[in-house]
Amino acid sequence: MSPAARPPLRLGEEVAEARAARRPLVALESTIIAHGLPRPRNLAVARELEKIVRDHGAVPATVAVLDGSCVVGLGDAELERVAEDLSLRKLGRRDLALAVAQGASGATTVSATASLAALAGIRVFATGGLGGVHRGFAEHLDESADLDALSRTTITVVSAGVKSILDVPGTLQRLETLNVAVVGYGTRDFPGFYLTRSGEHIDWTVETPAQVAAIMRQQDALGLGGALVVANPVGEAEQLDPVVHDQVLASALDEADRQKITGAKITPFLLAEMVRATRGASLEANLAAVRSNVRLGAEIARAYHA
């Protein structure tokens, strides 16, 4: 491979040392830091999530693209930059080559984080909620790039299901079509991001990190590409009140329709409306889910490397 074709991947010092020592690693996305949380809380949460990974016996690898370099394992100064730089783009998998070629900087979404983590040899990625099929798909043909990226990437993604503002049944159908395996962690009810249950059923369930690791090893042995989605529900005590959730979401969807908001703008609009209308309760449910997923991700990474 020529130098020009070599992947522009840079491992953080802690991640490089962990890889050399064959220690468990957990990838973390940076979009939640740059675009998903209010400042200055976003930096505190980023550091908190990395600490949760370390406290549970693994090494965090927060991913971003900085000045055209794909960084897997941000240092603290880089973490601060992602949290404070308002000019950072939001980068999906499709944007990576463009960002690298133009020396751009951006926070990575699920699709980009999963792709770069797999390129770095990381098998576990913890996030909040996945993107998916949008409501009104038949009219707008709007679907998150997360789904296609997961079908192409061998990685285990721990999430609280897909964002409840989306078409959850449609998303599960697409995951099946794309051969992305989904397993419920301690549940047969697919979680709904802010909600413990979405009302959709899961065919397969596991009860321990070791059982997840066993599935991962069989994926390796069978040579089956594609992601394994571990659906880890937010605790009932920490979920958003389901009645409030449904009322606020219905109102937000009506407002989006009135303003003719579609495409890439619809998800951030709906999420912002949820935070505003619930006076921050949806954000707290989101963070509770992310913390739980990061904790479980570290435990799965440890079990896989055992």
Average pLDDT over residues 299-304: 98
| Annotated catalytic residue 163 | yes
User: CA geometry: angle at 98 spanning 264 and 69, to 5°?
Assistant: 110
Q: Find out whether 48 and 41 touch, Cβ atoms under 8 Å.
A: no
Residue 8: which pLDDT band, with cuts at 50, 70 and 90? confident
Q: Which residue has the higher pLDDT, 263 or 206?
A: 206
Average pLDDT over residues 209-224: 96
Q: Look over the chain and give the mean of its residue pLDDT values, rounded to a whole number.
A: 92
Residue 1: which pLDDT band, with cuts at 50, 70 and 90? very low
Residue 269: which pLDDT band, with cuts at 50, 70 and 90? confident
For 123-148, the pLDDT digits (tens) are: 999 999 898 786 665 455 566 788 99
The CATH superfamily holding the domain 3-303 is Indigoidine synthase domain (3.40.1790.10)
CA–CA distance from 172 to each of 71, 120, 134, 141, 204 (Å)?
31, 28, 12, 16, 13
| pLDDT higher than 60, residue 264 | yes
The C-alpha atoms of residue 268 and residue 290 are separated, in whole angstroms, by: 18
| Annotated catalytic residue 29 | yes
- Measured in degrees and rounded to the nearest 5, phi and psi for residue 13 equal -60, -45
| pLDDT higher than 90, residue 229 | yes
Average pLDDT over residues 260-268: 74
CA–CA distance from 160 to each of 50, 131, 169, 254, 291 (Å)?
18, 11, 15, 25, 10
Q: Find out whether 184 and 192 touch, Cβ atoms under 8 Å.
A: no
Q: What pLDDT score was predicted for residue 163? A: 81
- Measured in degrees and rounded to the nearest 5, phi and psi for residue 64 equal -160, 170
Residue-wise over 28-60: b if at least 16 C-beta within 10 A, else e? bbbbbbbbbbeeeebbebbbebbebbeebebbb
3-state secondary structure of 203: coil
For 172-216, the pLDDT digits (tens) are: 999 999 999 999 999 999 999 999 999 999 999 999 999 999 999
What residue ranges do the domains of the chain occupy? 3-303
Helix axes of 110-119 and 145-152: crossing angle, nearest 10 degrees: 20
The C-alpha atoms of residue 28 and residue 65 are separated, in whole angstroms, by: 13
Active-site residue, from 29, 50, 143, 299? 29
| pLDDT higher than 80, residue 115 | yes
Active-site residue, from 14, 163, 273, 299? 163
Closest CA to 235 of 281, 194, 184: 194
DSSP character at residue 143: B
Residue 94: which pLDDT band, with cuts at 50, 70 and 90? very high
Q: Which residue has the higher pLDDT, 79 or 170?
A: 79
Q: What is the pTM of this model?
A: 0.93
Closest CA to 122 of 305, 254, 306: 305
Which residues 6+ apart lie within 8 Å of 278 measured at CB? 240, 244, 245, 248
Q: Is 104 exposed, middle or buried (0-12, 13-18, 19+ CB in 10 A)?
A: middle
| pLDDT higher than 90, residue 7 | no
Average pLDDT over residues 119-123: 96
